[in-house]
């Protein structure tokens, strides 16, 4: 019999707040971090969700003395600190860092590679600061990285390699990332509208999130969510375009639900990827319909946070667990009229709901797809 694995604590740093409760309250009020910002000189402002750098610096100085950290590293440290203070680090504790681009900003105007740009060095720096004893594990698999952080922690704990794990995920908005998405013509000209008929692309975002995952529950836990199933499948369709038949996402969901032993009728809520690009949203609609999940209440968080790359999957998992804890479904912001060929049950307003089983999905460049099933205990 497989060992049961739980998420029992989490924290986040986003444009909507530097803890989970402030983020949750902002979401209840329908607030969004997406706004017009001028990120690159000599280029027009565009819609993006970014953390206020002055507020970030103020918060960091309140919590830390050492200033020898990049902006992204400060986001990571702030997201992880409360969890480290509440849970012990032992020889059997894993440290997992998920990111798409890490400290890519360090490459600007450089002729040689700075040490901090290597993801292994980034992870080791954070691990050393908090005194982790095991070698850090880095997950960098495009935009499914955050969801895979949860899955890898679960599987390593079940395999007996670790007893518990701290998972952090983060990415920042940078010129490199902006240029990349621009080259694919994927950035929207307006505030993003996942699954909507008039959607025209993503809004980028940034955040850091952290979760504590363990096989050993104690009486002090305020909550716990069992990680019932997980899967990651690559559809190998295209460097950026998802499979039109949703094969990779379909297989990921199917595998995760099979391991979880949860049928489509039992899923209470889907926290979907929903980037607001034409092809991603259509692919998801196809995959969810193939799995008979089209009637399950579903939302995308991208209208609130933008697309936070490697951070999005973990951050959105945290928000979905908050939804379950508060028995409240949050609407998919900016959705008005269905823009996919197959129907979905898009949440349009705050509404009460009993949420026990959650399906969280993510998809990314290179054909990667991932899914996890969580159960509120």
Does the domain at residues 6-214 carry the CATH identifier 3.40.50.2300? no
Burial 126-157 (b: 16+ CB within 10 A, else e): bbebeebebebbbbebbbbbbbbbbbbbbebb
Q: Report the topology of domain 226-376.
A: Peroxisomal Thiolase; Chain A, domain 1 (3.40.47)
CB 161 within 8 A of CB 155: no
Residue 103: the pLDDT is 95
Cα(356)–Cα(267) distance, integer angstroms: 8
Question: What six digits make up the tokens of 133?
Answer: 């004893």
The string of DSSP codes covering 322-377 is HHHHTTEEPP-TT--SB-SSS--EE--S-EE----EEEEEEEEGGGEEEEEEEEE-
pLDDT tier, 33 (very low <50, low <70, confident <90, very high otherwise): very high
Cα(106)–Cα(122) distance, integer angstroms: 12
CB 245 within 8 A of CB 279: no
Residue 115: the pLDDT is 87
Residue 178: the pLDDT is 85
pLDDT digits (tens, 9 = 90+) for 61-94: 999 987 799 999 999 999 999 999 999 999 999 9
- Average confidence (pLDDT) over 222-233: 97
Residue 164: the pLDDT is 98
Ramachandran bin of 174, using left for φ above 0, alpha for ψ from -120 to 50, beta for the remaining angles: beta
- Average confidence (pLDDT) over 12-27: 98
Residue 54: the pLDDT is 96
pLDDT digits (tens, 9 = 90+) for 321-369: 999 999 999 999 999 999 999 999 999 999 999 999 999 999 998 899 9
The domain limits of the chain are: 6-214, 226-376
For residue 17, what are the contacts with CB-CB under 8 A and spacing of at least 6?
23, 25, 26
Name the pairing type of β-strands 137-139 and 6-13: unpaired
Q: Do domains 6-214 and 226-376 have the same CATH topology?
A: yes
Cα(42)–Cα(348) distance, integer angstroms: 38
Residue 316: the pLDDT is 98
Q: Which of 202, 80, 69 is nearest to 149 (CA)?
A: 80
- Average confidence (pLDDT) over 252-277: 98
- Average confidence (pLDDT) over 114-133: 96
How far CA 279 is from CA of 217, 244, 309, 337, 339, in Å, comes to 41, 8, 17, 17, 11
Name the pairing type of β-strands 345-346 and 297-299: parallel
CB 48 within 8 A of CB 39: yes
pLDDT tier, 219 (very low <50, low <70, confident <90, very high otherwise): confident
The pLDDT of residue 176 is above 90 = no
- Average confidence (pLDDT) over 20-43: 93
Beta strands in 263-311 (DSSP E): 269-271, 297-299
Q: Which of 19, 353, 31 is nearest to 191 (CA)?
A: 31
CB 143 within 8 A of CB 127: no
């Amino acid at each position: 019999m497989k060992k049961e694995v739980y998420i029992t604590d989490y924290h986040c740093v986003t444009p909507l707040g530097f803890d989970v409760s402030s983020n949750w309250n902002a979401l209840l009020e329908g607030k969004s971090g997406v706004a017009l910002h001028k990120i690159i000189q000599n280029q027009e402002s565009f819609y993006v969700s970014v953390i206020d750098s002055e507020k970030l610096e103020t918060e960091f100085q309140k919590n830390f003395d050492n200033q020898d950290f990049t902006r992204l590293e400060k986001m990571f440290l702030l997201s992880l600190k409360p969890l480290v203070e509440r849970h012990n680090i032992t020889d059997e504790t894993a440290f997992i860092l998920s990111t798409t681009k890490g400290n890519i900003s360090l490459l600007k105007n450089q002729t040689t590679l700075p040490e901090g740009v290597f993801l292994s060095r980034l992870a080791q720096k954070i691990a050393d600061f908090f005194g982790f004893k095991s070698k850090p594990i880095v997950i960098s698999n495009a935009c499914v990285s955050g969801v895979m952080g949860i899955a890898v922690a679960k599987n390593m704990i079940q395999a007996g390699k670790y007893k518990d794990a701290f998972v952090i995920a983060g990415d920042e908005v940078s010129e490199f990332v902006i240029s990349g998405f621009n080259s694919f013509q994927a950035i929207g000209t307006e505030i993003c509208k996942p699954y909507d008929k008039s959607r025209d692309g993503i809004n980028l975002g940034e955040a850091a999130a952290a979760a504590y995952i363990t096989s050993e529950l104690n009486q002090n836990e305020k909550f716990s969510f069992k990680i019932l199933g997980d899967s990651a499948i690559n559809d190998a369709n295209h460097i950026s375009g998802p499979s039109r038949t949703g094969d990779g996402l379909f297989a990921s969901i199917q595998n995760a639900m099979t391991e979880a032993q949860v049928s489509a009728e039992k899923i209470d809520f889907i926290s979907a990827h929903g980037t607001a690009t034409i092809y991603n949203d259509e692919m998801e609609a196809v995959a969810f319909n193939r799995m008979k999940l089209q009637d399950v209440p579903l939302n995308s968080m991208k209208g609130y946070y933008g697309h936070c790359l490697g951070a999005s999957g973990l951050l959105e998992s945290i928000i979905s667990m908050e939804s379950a804890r508060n028995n409240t479904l949050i609407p998919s912001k900016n959705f008005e009229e269905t823009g996919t060929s197959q129907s979905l049950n898009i949440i349009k307003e705050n509404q009460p709901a009993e949420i026990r089983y959650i399906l969280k999905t993510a998809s990314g460049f290179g054909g990667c797809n991932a899914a996890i099933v969580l159960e509120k205990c």
